[in-house]
């Protein structure tokens, strides 16, 4: 997830999507040892496919 701060600074965080709509994503991430949650616009997120384990 990419956050854009009012100062113009941009930061990227690994995050987990908890819920989503076509326009918004509710994400959870860790910043400075604190758990954070927020709704962000969908274009701030990219999706990664996780490999499935074969048992």
Q: What is the pLDDT of residues 5-55, one digit of tens each?
A: 889 898 888 899 999 999 999 999 998 899 999 999 998 888 777 788 877
pTM of the model: 0.72
State the pLDDT at residue 35: 93
| Cβ partners under 8 Å of residue 25, min gap 6 | 1, 17, 19, 39, 40, 41, 42, 44, 45
State the pLDDT at residue 13: 87
State the pLDDT at residue 41: 92
Nearest CA to 16 among 53, 52, 51, 47? 47
């Amino acid at each position: 997830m990419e956050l854009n701060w009012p100062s113009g600074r941009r930061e990227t965080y690994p995050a987990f999507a908890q819920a989503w709509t076509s326009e918004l994503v509710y994400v959870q991430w860790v910043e400075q040892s604190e758990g954070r949650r927020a709704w962000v616009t969908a274009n701030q997120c990219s999706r990664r496919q996780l490999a499935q384990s074969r048992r």
